[in-house]
Homo-oligomer: A and B are copies of this chain.
């Protein structure tokens, strides 16, 4: 076990992000920039702030875990952007910002008077990003979207679920965080270019469009077959390469399964699997010798593997089978949150939050010279209004107090 310590990676130190994001598609992007060291100032309306603070929350005045998970390491300021003085504060901040990001409903940021044309005039070096549900020029460009709408329209749901069942929505919020990551990459590439040119850029991504990026294997299949890619349950895409499936384990709970995969690219996998489950007697059996034969005799093959897995728990199955061929226990979210190994490796970190006490959350999973970025708790609403206005704009205590008295911040 290497000595892993969460640490500030300071890769983006000095990069200023003016963050007009809410919910997840935008917030997931700016949170990554914050994790990597940028100074992310999240602008919220004084009247409740990001609606994500209250999404699914059972108690008023308590920030929901949802909000904590997408806004750590940021600073929060509240500004009434509908007042002329508030709007001017934002323009002053935009002058100092390297990056601006928003994911409001179509047309909203422009109606506020903070569109790309306005901010790029104030600051020609600004990298200005927008996340929408549908792309400009799409027949649905004015429609609202949420994660599930993007996953429906972007093809993801059509290939998720049981073969003969209805489409299912992946539990992963690909429409939101999946899109946010593509925007984040684009912002960082633009930042690289800007060092040379000094010029900013207008970045736009649509959640529907971003979904295509994550289902390219299915497009490859459609090109070969001329047909829509099917749903395949727990199997892989075509489902024509058994074993490539989940198998039930003891004691039979809803997530007591183990994935077992033998690669068609490696003919050694099948005999290795047979050895692992104590069925060397079947090595060379023509019913299972080739991929085609295994497909034909899939029912019997599944029975043989299940005979082994159903008598053991999923971790034992993973230990034994995973040493021979690719294999993995189906783990649930409680098992993962409680797994001390994730915490030892700082993949899950504990933070202290005034509303929640000790709170466990997944941080950035990439290690920099051995250490993943340290997570700092999400800000309370307006927690850094004074501090950030002083830092970015050099305001005095009096100036901040005047804005507060007039309910601008």
Contacts and interface: CB of A to CB of B under 8 A. Distances in A.
Given A56-B238, A191-B192, A259-B148, A2 B136 contact: yes
A308 interface: no
A172 B72 CA distance: 27
A98 to B, nearest CB: 11
Contacts of A140: 318, 322, 328
A114 interface: no
A264 to B, nearest CB: 8
A151 to B, nearest CB: 8
B11 A366 contact: no
A94 interface: no
Interface string A53-75: 01110100000111011100000
A303 B81 CA distance: 43
Given A157-B234, A265-B51, A366-B186, A149 B326 contact: yes
Contacts of A246: 152, 157, 166-167
A392 interface: no
Contact of A172 (B70, B144, B172, B227): B172
A235 B147 CA distance: 11
A184 B185 contact: yes
Interface in A307-366: 318, 322-323, 325-337, 341-342, 344-345, 347-348, 356, 359-362, 364-366
Interface stretch (A205-213, A293-301, A383-391, A394-402): A205-213
Interface in A146-185: 146-150, 152-162, 165-174, 177-178, 181-185
A47 interface: no
Contacts of A226: 334
A377 to B, nearest CB: 14
Contacts of A189: 9, 11-12, 36-37, 188
Interface string A21-61: 00010000000100011000000000000010011101000
A201 B366 CA distance: 12
A370 interface: yes
A5 B255 CA distance: 47
A229 interface: yes
Interface in A276-316: none
B203 A257 contact: no
Given A220-B64, A265-B51, A144 B213 contact: no
A172 B170 contact: yes
Nearest to A372: B209
A222 B170 CA distance: 17
Given A143-B323, A186-B368, 13 more contacts: A36-B185, A56-B220, A135-B347, A146-B263, A160-B160, A167-B246, A168-B234, A170-B171, A172-B174, A182-B364, A184-B185, A192-B192, A204-B370
